[in-house]
Amino acid sequence: MAQAPLPDETIIQRVALWNEVGRNTSETARRLGVCRRVVHNTLHRAIERGMLTEADLRDPNTPKAEDYQSARPRKIAPAVFLAPHSD
């Protein structure tokens, strides 16, 4: 059974609450009395309707993939093997 389309006004209200609670999906769901999946689906419907972009869903403190990949070799220390200690 197909669900009725979610009205734009409902999406706008849910996105506003999501922004109000610091873009926290769990807290948004708790305040709405729904599961996190409902909030997730609402956010993706907002993207489909041009109300949000994919970039809006990303945590601004998370580095871009290319920045992470370029920094990774510098963060991985070379393996150091120590000879067994003999008494």
Amino acid at 24: N
> Could you tell me which of 35, 37, 1, 31 has the C-alpha nearest to residue 16?
31
From the options 1.25.40, 1.10.10, 3.10.450, 1.10.287, give the CATH code of 1-56.
Answer: 1.10.10
Q: Where along the chain do its domains lie?
A: 1-56
**pLDDT tens digit sequence for 18-67:** 999 999 999 999 999 999 999 999 999 999 999 999 988 887 777 677 77
- Counted residue by residue, the chain has a size of 87
Q: Is 7 helix (H, G, I), strand (E, B) or coil?
A: coil
Whether the pLDDT of residue 7 is over 80: the answer is: yes
Q: Is the pTM of this model over 0.85?
A: no
State the pLDDT at residue 57.
Answer: 86
